[in-house]
């Protein structure tokens, strides 16, 4: 025990020295640096800082105005930030130092991982000096270190070793109540830091139970109560976190199918090859060796060599049928349990078996789909396999010494520690590259920024919220707008210094209805803006950066009153009543045009009706969702023709607008693809155009209006197809460009140029 205390003290000294070397400027001035200027990183800083300055409870009011969002869903360290808020309210002021607190928390968290790694190594009878050296190497080679560039809550490398160490102590059956309590508390603290830690905690223990059930399969009756208690310990934090978040959440339409489940996973190469591998370069960087950055958990060269040795030995014995003493590789039965459990978790992190013909299984356990970055689960294997490697290398080192092969023993240890240290050093260099960025967005003092606004006669109290351009948002990965991340950073700067909330949110777990109503604010004047019903009459403060704007964004900015320009930022005032005025003007003009139209009872136009195609699908009875009338086109998956070549060929030559309404179905990520084909008369494909289906602002309910302009000639053949899953399409309209078409629905919503209109 005394030796362990000495080792821990030494590790704290080493960790502190390394931290001073790597982060010296940050330690001197914690609030003066941002570890990244990337949108995700700035968003994490902002969410944390804004809450400290302006909010209380579980609601973050700085984004998604006027609704706010739940702390658990926006990477705000909900438990930690609430503790800090209590300190700020009752002990001493912290509210202006959110950036610095977050920076220091990440740096300190790395040091806190060292004692847990050390204690695990000591539990497997490794000597003091060796455990100290290996602990340092494993920490700084850790894939979590690299998360310091953006996913800040994922930097906390102490959680997984802490879970493992407490589990080891619980399984020793000495004072199990204490260690069970510590396990559950650690799982809760992790879960209220990020849901991923609750999941990592649970899957680690469940995998251990599975391995032990297999090992004790001949005497399961004696193990059943042990397994039952472990099962309760495994599920308790996950159920408590999920239960409390569900009870306290005020929305019920968060996305259940985030994008990335089949993308952001690990593979063999992401575990056993470094990010920049000479082998990949020698082989010409083959595609099969590529891997997603979320799956990176490189275990280092010595561990990779060990893994290859185990596999080659297994293959050799399989083909030669020679007996092999596998205890050579797996001498410690207690450690073997955790190793096999980590292999099970590793397979899960590789999207096995879901990606290999069993995708339906994720629908049986829908909670699994919430974790779109499966690669993060490989971290359990990283810590387990590196400690397993260190343990095995030391045993061989001892055997060589006992056999009086001291030179061989020395070479083995030098190679092992030397190459592993090089791997760790490379990881440190890569992970800390570009880390020290001047904090000119979320400064601790707001005086300079507020003075600039005051000099421009801008009073933040006169505005209700910030709207930034270009626009940025994600709608459960269905609709996606990413061009405005620079503007988002400037909006967060303004919000942090003024307290004004931001209308946008870039959280993939944001309520669908909230995300859609935000996107709709840049819709055509024909679209009535539903979000306005929950907002007041104060104007919006527009923050615009110098990137190119879309036509809708240009309309909004051109209808705003210029106030201030600085650097590449323009600040303007937008009167909220402009929305209603533009809608009323559109409606008045539309009604005026409709009165002068001729045509059939249902379809009227100011052009010839044989130049119009209208498909309302009202006769279809198997619709999943209906935009208008009594039916809509619906198919569960695959390709389908929406407009055939015969329908297009019936139209005269010319320019046409094709518009339709596409349902935002929450049962899957992404949107169905709309593909327009152009062929010559011999059937040869001339063009294949994928229409924009994700960056559209014209929202009505849960439907989005898609429109494209096409040119038709008699020399070619055309068709429009839809491809994807859960496809619902309604009200297809093809009309000559610059024409006007009115479709009257006495039992539904009438349409003017395929926009809903009422009389």
Judged by DSSP in three states, 632 sits in coil
pLDDT the model gives residue 235: 96
Between vectors from CA 599 to CA 596 and to CA 605, what angle results, nearest 5°?
55
For residue 100, give the DSSP letter: H
Burial of 56 (0-12, 13-18, 19+ CB in 10 A): exposed
Structure tokens, 340: 């096999």
Q: Which residues make Cβ contacts (< 8 Å) with residue 507, sequence separation at least 6?
A: 63, 64, 69, 73, 74, 474
Q: How many other C-beta atoms can be found within 10 angstroms of the C-beta atom of residue 181?
A: 14
pLDDT the model gives residue 138: 97
Judged by DSSP in three states, 338 sits in helix
Q: How many other C-beta atoms can be found within 10 angstroms of the C-beta atom of residue 334?
A: 12
pLDDT the model gives residue 287: 60
Structure tokens, 618: 């009202």
707 pairs with which residues across the strands? 659
- Say how far apart CA 544 and CA 553 lie, in whole Å: 10
Query: Which string of b and e fits 699-737 if b means at least 16 CB within 10 Å?
Result: bbebbbbbbeebebeeebbbbbbbebbbbbbbbbbbbbe
Query: What would the pLDDT profile of 709-738 be if each residue is shown by its tens digit?
Result: 999 999 999 999 999 999 999 999 999 999
Domains of the chain: 255-402 (no CATH), 447-582 (no CATH), 596-757 (2.60.120)
pLDDT the model gives residue 42: 93
Judged by DSSP in three states, 448 sits in helix
Q: Note whether 44 and 150 are within 8 A (CB).
A: yes
pLDDT the model gives residue 282: 57
Q: Which of 501, 504, 493 is nearest to 566 (CA)?
A: 493
Judged by DSSP in three states, 78 sits in helix
* DSSP string for 718-729: EEEEEEEEEEEE
- Say how far apart CA 329 and CA 503 lie, in whole Å: 57
pLDDT the model gives residue 474: 85
End-to-end CA distance of the chain: 83
- Say how far apart CA 477 and CA 637 lie, in whole Å: 18
Structure tokens, 180: 């069970």
pTM of the full structure:
0.92
Q: Which residues make Cβ contacts (< 8 Å) with residue 90, sequence separation at least 6?
A: none
Positions of the chain with pLDDT under 70: 277-289
Q: Which of 392, 386, 393 is nearest to 424 (CA)?
A: 386
């Amino acid at each position: 025990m005394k030796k362990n205390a000495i080792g821990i003290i030494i590790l704290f000294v080493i960790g502190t020295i390394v931290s001073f070397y790597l982060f010296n400027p940050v330690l001197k001035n914690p609030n003066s640096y941002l570890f990244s200027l990337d949108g995700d990183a700035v968003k994490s800083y902002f969410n944390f800082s804004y809450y400290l300055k302006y909010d209380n409870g579980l609601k973050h009011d700085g984004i998604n105005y006027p609704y706010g969002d739940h702390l658990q869903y926006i990477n705000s360290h909900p438990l930690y930030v609430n503790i800090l808020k209590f300190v700020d309210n009752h002990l001493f002021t912290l509210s202006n130092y959110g950036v610095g607190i977050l920076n220091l928390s990440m740096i300190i968290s790395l040091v806190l991982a060292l004692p847990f790694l050390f204690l695990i190594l000591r539990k497997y009878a490794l000597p003091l000096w060796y455990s100290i050296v290996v602990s340092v190497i494993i920490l700084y080679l850790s894939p979590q270190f690299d998360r310091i560039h953006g996913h800040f809550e994922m930097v906390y490398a102490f959680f997984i070793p802490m879970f493992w160490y407490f589990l080891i102590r619980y399984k020793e059956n000495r004072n199990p109540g204490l260690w069970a309590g510590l396990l559950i508390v650690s799982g809760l603290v992790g879960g209220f830091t990020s849901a991923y830690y609750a999941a990592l905690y649970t899957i680690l223990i469940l995998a251990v139970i599975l391995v032990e059930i297999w090992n004790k399969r001949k005497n399961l009756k004696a193990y059943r109560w042990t397994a039952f208690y472990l099962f309760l310990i495994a599920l308790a934090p996950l159920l408590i976190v999920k239960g409390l978040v569900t009870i306290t959440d005020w929305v019920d339409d968060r996305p259940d199918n985030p994008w990335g489940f089949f993308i952001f996973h690990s593979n063999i190469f992401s575990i056993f090859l470094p990010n920049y591998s000479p082998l990949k370069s020698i082989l010409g960087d083959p595609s099969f060796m590529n891997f997603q950055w979320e799956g990176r958990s490189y275990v280092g060269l010595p561990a990779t060599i060990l893994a290859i040795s185990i596999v080659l030995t297994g293959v050799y014995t399989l083909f030669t049928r020679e007996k092999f003493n596998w205890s050579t590789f797996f001498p410690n039965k207690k450690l073997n349990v955790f190793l096999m459990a980590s292999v099970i978790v590793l397979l899960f992190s590789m999207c096995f078996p879901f990606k290999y013909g069993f995708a339906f299984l994720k629908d049986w356990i829908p909670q699994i789909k919430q974790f779109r970055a499966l690669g993060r689960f490989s971290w359990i294997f990283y810590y387990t396999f590196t400690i397993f490697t260190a343990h095995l290398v030391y045993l061989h080192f001892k055997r060589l010494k006992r056999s009086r092969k001291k030179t061989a023993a020395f070479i083995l240890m030098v190679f092992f520690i030397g190459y592993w240290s090089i791997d760790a050093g490379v990881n440190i260099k890569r992970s800390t590259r570009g880390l020290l960025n001047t904090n000119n967005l979320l400064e601790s003092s707001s005086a300079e920024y507020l003075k600039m606004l005051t000099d421009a006669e801008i009073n933040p109290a006169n505005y209700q919220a910030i709207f930034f351009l270009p626009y940025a948002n994600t709608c459960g990965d269905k609709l996606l707008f990413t061009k405005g991340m620079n503007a988002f950073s400037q909006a967060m700067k303004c919000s942090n210094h003024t307290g004004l909330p931001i209308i946008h949110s870039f959280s993939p777990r944001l309520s669908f209805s909230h995300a859609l109503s935000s996107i709709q604010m840049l819709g055509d004047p024909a679209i009535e803006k539903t979000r306005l019903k929950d907002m007041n009459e104060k104007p919006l403060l527009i923050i615009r950066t110098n990137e190119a704007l879309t036509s809708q964004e240009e309309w909004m900015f051109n209808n705003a009153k210029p106030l201030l320009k600085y650097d590449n930022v323009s600040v303007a005032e937008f009167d909220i009543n402009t929305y209603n005025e533009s809608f009323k003007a559109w409606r008045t003009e539309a009604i005026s045009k409709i009165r002068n139209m001729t045509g059939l009872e249902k379809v009227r136009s100011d052009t010839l009706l044989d130049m119009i195609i209208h498909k309302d699908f009202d006769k279809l009875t198997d619709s999943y969702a209906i935009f208008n009338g009594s039916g809509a086109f619906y198919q569960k998956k695959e390709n389908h023709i929406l407009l055939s070549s015969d329908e297009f060929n019936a139209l005269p030559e010319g320019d046409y607008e094709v518009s339709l309404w596409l349902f935002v179905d929450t049962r899957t990520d992404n949107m169905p693809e709309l593909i327009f084909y152009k062929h010559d008369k011999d059937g040869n494909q001339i063009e294949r155009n994928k229409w924009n289906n994700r960056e559209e602002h014209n929202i009505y309910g849960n439907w989005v209006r898609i429109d494209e302009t096409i040119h038709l000639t008699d020399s070619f053949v055309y068709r429009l197809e839809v491809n994807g899953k859960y496809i619902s399409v309604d009200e297809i309209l093809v009309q000559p460009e610059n024409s006007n078409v009115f479709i009257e629905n006495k039992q539904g919503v009438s349409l003017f140029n395929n926009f809903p209109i009422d009389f």
